[in-house]
Structure 1
Amino acid sequence: MRCSPTAGAALMLCAATAGLLRAQASSTPLPEPPESPRFASWEEMNVLAHGLLQLGRGLHEHVEHTRRQLGALERRLAACGPTCRGSETTGVPPVHPHSPGIAIGGEVAPEILRDLQTQLKVQNGRIQQLFLKVAQQQRHLEKQHLRIQHLQSKIALLAPNHLDNGVTQPTTKKRLPKMAQSSRLAPNATSLHRLPKDCQELFEDGQRQSGLFQIQPQGSPPFLVNCEMTSEGGWTVIQRRQDGSVDFNQPWEAYKDGFGDLQGDFWLGLEKMHCITGDQGGRLTVKLQDRDGNAKSLRFPIHLGGEDTAYSLQLTAPVASELGVSVATPNGLSLPFSTWDQDHDLRRDLNCAKSLSGGWWFGTCGHSNLNGQYFHSMPHQRQQRKKGMFWKGWRGRYYPLQATTMLIQVTEDAEAS
């Protein structure tokens, strides 16, 4: 059975709870027992924060409920007049008989009720402030948790054999505006002979395990890449989206240099891609995954120009149609790269990167964008969904994909599929 507390009991409960919450929110920690010292874990702090939030909500609702009851009693007394006695005062919270302004015979003055209401309003305000402080502390804890995870990932890179033969699963991180480099050298970084120019050459040298490796394309300084070794050779991963840990709505310079984490979500960088493919061209593989676990793989030949061409993709007719190039440009069937601060798309009346999200080889805004906004759940609004990662030729423009991976391979026959 649910019991309704009296106004006096409610005030005592509110005052005691407010004091408890102030003690919990105090910056001075309680001393720990000397026999079992330990630090509170993230899970314990999170449980405590959620518990305090629930307590604050409950107290807030309780005070509001009691204040409405007192307001109803005050209206009844005002309508009844000063002659209300005895049974007509049933339901009025009991008070001390010698309190000023209260008749011994049972009459409760409206001034007392208004005073109680004022006190409840004050307590309600204090509880609301404490509730906001607890919510702020929880957000602070969540940010600290993300920082701890980021530091833990850096520490893990220092451990022996971290760059092993497998691909390490990433942890959730805050967005990284620049490419995060490993603090440990790749397996081939200490080799005395020259570095391979790409993952395919590494494969031809006998490497059959995927992982992080140092490469050095001709005319380029060395840099770290993620190589995926298959029965068809070595592929360089140039893009990966799998958990939304990195913000891909970046400006031109970020897309040129690269950003993210090679063991998580990342964009390798347009300049690095151009250095790898050079004038030879190669093949591009695009792996797509929807929210039901279905997968789709596309492969087509590409040739990537330099920055003087806005890193344009030279396309064959079928691929051009897939990416939204309906007519040939002065340079043939080509598609320049666009970002919100450098608009090179084929729409003269619209900035596709600004209208949608991220940087991409936009045709007319509606055919593909694998660098769009990452959605952890399906948005309800159609206009919001089109800002996500989509490939119109597979699941449609308004279906945000769950994961994508892009890989390139330089081959002697770039037209091979």
Structure 2
Amino acid sequence: MKTPQLLILLLTMLVHTAAAFPTDRRGRDKHASWDDVNVVAHGLLQLGQGLKEHVDKTKIQMRDVNAKLKAFNDTVAEVERKQREQDESLKTRGEEVEEREMMGAQLAEEVKVKVEEVKKQSEDIHSRMDRLEEKVDKVLTEPAVDSNYSDNTGVPFIQRIVAAQNRRIDQLVEKIQQQQDKLDKQSLHLQALQSKVAQKRVKSHRRRDEETVLRGEAEQSDAQSGLARDCHDLFVRGQRASGVYTVQPENSQPFSVLCDMTSEGGWTVIQKRLDGSQSFNQLWESYKKGFGSLSGEFWLGLENIHSLSKQGQYLLQVELSDWAGREQVAHYRVTVDGEEEKFAIHLENDSSSGAQEEIITTGASGVPFSTADRDNDLSADVNCAELLSGGWWFSSCGGSNLNGKYPRRPSQLRRQKPRRQGMFWTTTNGQNVSLKTVLLKIAPVSIKK
């Protein structure tokens, strides 16, 4: 009921009440009753006015509350719409990344198959060449044919056979070189593809982490905490299986290494050569960052070697074998400087190893690393890296080069040819030994205690 109608009803009740008083009362009492009615009526009017103002204020407040609720509902709807759009976008990106990874893996597999085919062709050519060499050797060792037997040109028959075989051998050598060049290119292409696939995987993981953060489900990661300093640190922590692990030297970024676990401790492999599948004729940046595959032939990288060796006193173990099956092992105390000192190596013969051949000349201690595009060797008139191939700590262009070209199988016809561009080291009696396998690995000196 509205306020004016309520007031009228109250006044009517008051009038009827006043009329109900007895008429024989005195005029003075009647006058007093009307004053009381006026006071009550005035009070009721004020009360009604107050109620009306209160109702008006309440209506205004309700309108404000309704407006705010509507705005809040619109905001919530907009946030839900943006969340749905974001979820759909992230889902689409994830599917694209997975599709690209699959394509990269397929392409890498195809390149790998092609590389295997080229290897087989190269092996077949080598086999054919070896058979030809055996035939020539047989002809050369058989009793000489009558020197009077010759063709019209006066050239003995045996000489013509040898000349023909030599031409065929030269052609085969040329084909082998072409196949090797193709193999090197395929290998570089495969490495580039593997690098791209790895980068895409890193981006994919990064995007997934971002998605997790956006959805409020991010979890604290301790992937970089608690990593071992090197392979021997892994051994101390109880790891006994050789293989690929991730380590993090002091004040360095984590990187993957090949660990050789022995009964003495864990060795970190920094260079491995066993079949010539990886070209070591690389430039400065490649030797700085590292190249190859930890599952095959590789160079760990000068930056990583420096990060490992600067942690304390380290021991370098050099393991060699030649084509005759002979093996050599040598130990040195080693430190490798940083790039500002051109990754100079400091070597000292390890007294605990006893007498040993000096595979790497300790007189070259403090010699910087040198490549074809960074001539840091001590030879004034020649670039040893260009002359001998690969990168190494060249004091001069002799002594050793464990990063030279991988030599092919020696033969009687090629023993007279220079092998200085291949992997070699010089013995104490001055003999150059062509190498078949090389393994360089380091560990703290405490491994022998």
* TM-score normalised to structure 1 length: 0.52
SS in 1 for 2:377: coil
Matches within 5 A, 1:259-338: 259-316=291-348, 323-324=360-361, 326=363, 333-338=365-370
Where 1:316 maps in the other structure, the secondary structure is: strand
CA distance in 2, matches of 1:175, 1:215: 28
Cα distance 1:363–1:383, how it changes in 2: closer, same or farther (>3 A)?
Answer: farther
2:442 aligns with one of 392, 408, 414: 408
| Identity level (%) | 40
- What's the offset of the Cα at 1:143? 6.5
Report whether the alignment pairs 1:391 with 2:430: no
- Mapped to 2, the partners of 1:175 and 1:384 lie a distance apart of 31
Counterpart amino acid of 1:290?
D
Root-mean-square deviation (CA, aligned residues, Å) is 3.8
Larger mean Cα displacement after TM superposition, 191-200 or 249-258: 191-200
Instruction: For residues 352-396 of structure 1, give each alpha carbon's deviation from its aligned partner in whole angstroms, at most 9, with x where no partner exists.
Output: 111111101112211011000111222726563011101112796
Q: How does 1:37-186 map to 2 (within 5 A)?
A: none
Distance change >3 Å, CA 357–CA 192, structure 1 → 2:
closer
Letter in 2 for 1:204: V
How far 1:244 sits from its partner (Å)? 0.6
Residues 175 and 364 of structure 1: is their aligned pair in 2 closer, same or farther, counting only changes over 3 Å? Answer: farther
Residue type matched to 1:282 in 2? Answer: Y
Distance 1:336 1:196 in 2: 29
Amino acid at match of 2:360: L
Matched, 1:364 2:401: no
Displacement after TM superposition at 1:236 (Å): 0.5
Contact 1:179 1:259 in 2 (8 A): no
Q: C-alpha displacement at 1:401, in angstroms?
A: 0.6
1:190–1:274 CA distance, 2 compared to 1 (3 A): same
For residues 371 and 224 of structure 2, the distance between their equivalents in structure 1, rounded to whole angstroms, comes to 40
Mapping of residues 214-229 of structure 1, within 5 Å: 214-229=246-261
Q: CA deviation at 1:299?
A: 1.0
Give the aligned partner of residue 26 of structure 2: none
Unaligned 5+ segments in structure 2 are 1-115, 125-174, 203-220, 351-355
**Residue 35 (structure 1) aligns with:** none
Q: Which residue of 1 aligns with 2:11?
A: none
SS of 2:227's partner is coil
- Which residue number corresponds to residue 284 of structure 2? 252
* Pairing of 1:183-194 with structure 2 (within 5 A): 194=226
Go from structure 1 to structure 2 and tell me whether the alpha carbon gap of 1:373 and 1:395 turns closer, same or farther (over 3 Å shift).
farther
CA distance in structure 2 between the partners assigned to 1:375 and 1:175 by the alignment: 23
Q: 3-state DSSP class of the match of 1:254?
A: helix
Contact residue 330 and residue 358 of structure 2 kept, 8 A: no
The CA deviation at 1:200 is 0.7
Give the structure with the higher percent helix.
2
Q: Aligned equivalents of 1:324 and 1:179: distance in 2?
A: 39
1:233 aligned partner, one-letter code: G
Name the CA distance, whole Å, in 1 between partners of 2:288 and 2:193: 11
Cα contact 2:224–2:254 (8 A) shared by 1: no
Q: In terms of mean alpha carbon deviation, does 201-210 or 275-284 score higher?
A: 275-284
Pair 193,271 (structure 1): closer, same or farther in 2 beyond 3 Å: closer
CA distance in 2 between counterparts of 1:268 and 1:178 reads: 17
* Residue deviations 1:98-125 (CA, integer Å, cap 9, x gap): xxxxxxxxxxxxxxxxxxxxxxxxxxxx
How far the C-alpha of 1:323 sits from its partner, in A, is: 3.4
Q: How far apart in 1 are the matches of 2:367 and 2:190?
A: 27
Please state if 1:207 is matched with 2:244: no
What's the CA shift string for 1:2-36, capped at 9, x where partnerless? Answer: xxxxxxxxxxxxxxxxxxxxxxxxxxxxxxxxxxx
> 1:143, 1:347 → 2: CA distance?
33
Length, aligned pairs only: 248
